[in-house]
Amino acid sequence: MFPKGFLWGVSMAGFQFEMGDPAGEAIDPSTDWFAWVHDRSNIKRGIVSGDLPENGIDYWHRFREDHDIAKSLGMNAYRLNVEWSRVFPKPTFNVEVEVEREEKLLKRVGIDEGDLAKLDELANKTAVEHYREVINDLREKGFYVILNLVHFTLPIWLHDPLLARASKLRRGPLGYADPRFPVEFAKFAAYVAWKFGDLVDMWSTFNEPSVVVEAGFLFRNGRFPPGLFSLDGYKRALVNIAQAHVLAYDVIKRFDRKKAYSESPSEAYVGIIHNIIPFYPLRPGSKRDVVASKFSDHLHNRWILNAVAKGWVDLDIDMRMEPSEVFEAYKGKLEWIGVNYYSRQVTRDRTSIIRILARIPAYPEMVKGYGNECQPNSQSLAGRPTSDFGWEVYPEGIAEALDIAFEYGRPVLITENGIADREDRLRPHFIALHLRVVEEYISQRKPDLRGYLHWALTDNYEWAEGFRMRFGLYAVDLETKKRIKRPSADVMATIIREGTVPDEYLKRALEVVKGVRLSL
């Protein structure tokens, strides 16, 4: 059985859900992603779908309806973010703050009430009040709110992805790779903590930091902005996110001084939401594949957690902890970990001159036919069904993802888990199998696992894929914006209500998804 007090809910991101009203009142043109998905060259080259977010599901106006739907399913938690570009559509560079360094890294920003007043003059008060209205509606309906600060998108004044790509990062603003990024993010975090601290206690700085740096900087013609291969840009972005998190951790603590929920551990409980992927070597007997798998695990899963929990910022990404890479000011800047889990990856080492030039232990390649590298609506090489996205259904991996998170000794919340499945063919079984693995994990390990948030309540705008990938427990008719219940919503509601995965759900799921190992 799932424990009493377990959080059941959904997660969402502003850019993916907010826009879509017929009058266009909710359009936010001030983000890097808005520029990216509207770029004619990107559309023509197939880098983005051509679908536009302003044709989306209109959470901006329909949030009360969606909150009612979530409540009807028995949910009690909701994770959302405030869009930086909506709060600050204009630059905040001119609000100058004191900055302290610890050797190579930023250590602290000296933001005070006067700085917050200056930021308040620049802020879009209409957007701030709207977000307060959204959160208040959730609170009134009995939801525990988790507030995330950045879910991929950045203001266009901090990241011009088309200019960054065209200039090969020589001209900007450069977003995550921009030297101004950590301090600007800290100002945003301080302001949001000041404005929303009375409504929320549980904070996340970033959603899936590994994804934005990998997808943005490790692929030529990549589908995430700025969409170019730059190992230097990748490393700069990684280090900037670590610095930004540490600076933001302190200012959130400083300016959120009010406990919003009696059950919260503190007034400001600050974590990070991380996409954790179990990596397996293609050939377990091959030393090179094993090293490639470990290196992938280090960079994708552990790099950011090591930096903000242990103070080890692996600046040269070589997996070797050197005394000059351990920063006292970075230790313990993490109180909880959000785990997003979708599938696994199988890796092998690829022969490349880049490995030698960059002095890295391996140059990993994700093997096609496993994990996220499968054909849509087919079978993986392991005989598992795959989603509309071509992601392998691999429920056992959620236990391994949790193992990695719990190594850091913090409470954990599953903050995303879901499947792109327009026909709802696999989703009921996906939910039953993943939650049975979680249920077994809780029973056997007795971990400090706080809850499970599904991605997503409704269909959404899936970044470069547009509307082609449907993740919702409820479908959305993009013409009328009507929410239409899928059968998987009832599966989710039954599991929440009964506090366990019913045996009949499990039996049907195992008939569809063969070979799942449920005993941990």
Q: Which of 83, 335, 365, 416 is catalytic?
A: 416
Residue with tokens 């959204």: 134
Phi, psi torsion values for 229, nearest 5 degrees: -90, 120
Is residue 85 within 8 Å of residue 28, measured between CB atoms?
A: yes
Distance CA 206, CA 79 (A): 12
| Of residues 107, 321, 245, 406, the one with CA closest to residue 312 | 321
416 in active site: yes
Q: How far is CA 360 from CA 220, 222, 278, 331, in A?
A: 20, 22, 20, 25
Query: Other C-beta atoms within 10 Å of 156: how many?
Result: 22
For residues 400 and 278, is the Cβ–Cβ distance under 8 A? yes
Question: Rounded to an integer, what distance in angstroms lies between the CA atom of residue 455 and that of residue 11?
Answer: 6
Provide the CA 186 distance to its chain's centre, in angstroms. 19
Structure-block tokens of residue 414: 């599953």
Residue 25 designated active-site: no
148, containing H or E segment: strand 144-150
Burial of 299-325, coded b for 16+ CB within 10 Å and e otherwise, reads: bbbbbbbbbbbbbbbbbebebeeeeeb
Nearest to 293 by CA among 321, 319, 332: 319
- 3-state per-residue secondary structure call for 447-516: CCEEEEEECCCECCCCHHHCCCCCCCCEEECCCCCCEEECHHHHHHHHHHHHCCCCHHHHHHHHHHCCCC
Per annotation, catalytic residue among 208, 325, 365, 462: 208
Positions marked catalytic: 208, 416
